[in-house]
Amino acid sequence: MKVSVVVTVLNEAGTIKPLLDSLLEQSLSPREIIVVDAGSTDGTVNIIKHYSITFRDRDRGTNRSKARNTGIKAAKNEIIAITDAGCVADKHWLERLVKPFKDKQVISVAGYYRPACAGRPVIKTPFQQAIAPFVAVMPDKFDPKTYLPSSRSLAFRKGVAWYPENLNYCEDLIFAQRLKAAGKMAVVAGAKVRWQMQTTWAGFFNQIYHYAQGDVRARYWPHLLKIATVWLRYVLFLTWPPLFLVYLFWPVIKLGHYTSTPGWKYLPLLQVTADLAVLTGSLSAIISKRI
């Protein structure tokens, strides 16, 4: 099966090499790998040019959706697979991801991702273990019937849908909705990539901030409802402050089984950090819409 893999990058000098190496070591080799750069300044482009792949350069400031659409349009094959810098594909990722296309009714295929550390197949640092359930669909929460894929592990027939070019975040969920509306979407949990978790508090905050900002701009209702509950939660805390102290223990009870015991100490502050990121990110998006 002839497959084009499309990747978008912006200042990914620290992550692009492991991804490209993993794509070149696939059990099913892609016919072409297209990397679209949005104006990197950290040496990403120099790394990419050492590989025999197709490179597309866009103006700095191009958003993720426009860059992905550029790669899709440039692809020479009917089947397009998408993944991201910051991920490393399992050896059989592509082979498993495109297998359902043998059924002509299948329009798209949703793969899966699992949280990981740089250069490691599993998370070993307590901090990154604690972050994972805040940003990832954990294995015990994975439901093929309701799962909407991110663009870390996804394949589709060329031309059935396009990324929303007005969005830089939440674009993958809107795109996944478009794919589902276009026809049959298969789900293959075994088509996995490893997704590197953030390593700093600032990185985690910015990640959640941009997610919330994107959810509001995209008007993605499932996440807007979650954002509303965060706002209501803190209104309640202002009216009855002791409840906030009880709330700090909730993430340990809810998420503690995802991390080793040393990671428990991070969970309360990670919850508050995530909440603050949601509040400020969503407020920023609301204000920018009104200006």
CA distance 55 to 48: 8
Judged on CB neighbours under 10 Å (0-12, 13-18, 19+), 76 is: exposed
SS (H, E, C) the chain: CCEEEEEEECCCCCCHHHHHHHHHCCCCCCCEEEEEECCCCCCHHHHHCCCCCEEEECCCCCCHHHHHHHHHHHCCCCEEEEEECCEEECCCHHHHHHHHHHCCCEEEEEEEEEEECCCCCCCCCHHHHHHHHHHCCCHHHCCCCCCCCCCCCEEEECCCCCCCCCCCCCHHHHHHHHHHHHCEEEEEEEEEEEEECCCCHHHHHHHHHHHHHHHHHHCCHHHHHHHHHHHHHHHHHHHCCHHHHHHCCHHHHHHHHHCCHHHHHHHHHHHHHHHHHHHHHHHHHHHHHHC
Residue 18 has pLDDT above 70, yes or no: yes
Higher model confidence: residue 117 or residue 178? 178
Please state the φ and ψ torsions of residue 170, each to the nearest 5 degrees. 70, 0
- Tens-digit pLDDT profile for residues 130-167: 999 999 999 999 999 999 999 999 999 999 999 999 99
Does the pLDDT value for residue 124 go beyond 70? no
Q: Which of 94, 131, 101, 100 is nearest to 116 (CA)?
A: 131
**pLDDT tens for residues 57-82?**
876 778 999 999 999 999 999 999 99
**Which domains, and CATH codes, for the chain?**
3-196 (3.90.550.10), 201-290 (no CATH)
How deeply is 177 buried, as exposed, middle or buried, from its count of CB atoms within 10 A (0-12, 13-18, 19+)? middle
Q: What is the mean pLDDT of residues 192-216?
A: 96
Residue 260: band (very low, low, confident or very high) from pLDDT cuts 50, 70, 90: confident
Average pLDDT, the chain: 93
**pLDDT tens string 93-119:** 999 999 999 999 999 999 999 998 655
Half-sphere exposure of 23 (CA within 13 A, CB side): 30
pLDDT value at residue 66:
93
Residue 117's pLDDT is 62
pLDDT at 283 over 80: yes
Do residues 264 and 252 lie in contact, with contact meaning Cβ atoms separated by under 8 Å? yes
Q: How far apart are CA 159 and CA 69, in angstroms?
A: 10
Q: Does 1 score more than 70 pLDDT?
A: yes
Grade residue 252 by pLDDT with cuts at 50, 70 and 90.
Answer: very high
Span 235-245, mean pLDDT? 96
Q: Rounded to two decimals, what is the model's pTM?
A: 0.92
Please name which of 231, 227, 236 lies closest in space to residue 208, comparing C-alpha atoms: 227
Give residue 125's pLDDT band: very low, low, confident or very high (50, 70, 90). confident
Q: Find all residues with CB under 8 Å of 91, minimum gap 6, and list them.
A: 22, 25, 26, 27
Looking at per-residue pLDDT, the higher value among 119 and 125 belongs to 125
162 vs 175: CA distance, rounded Å: 7
Q: What is the mean pLDDT of residues 79-88?
A: 95
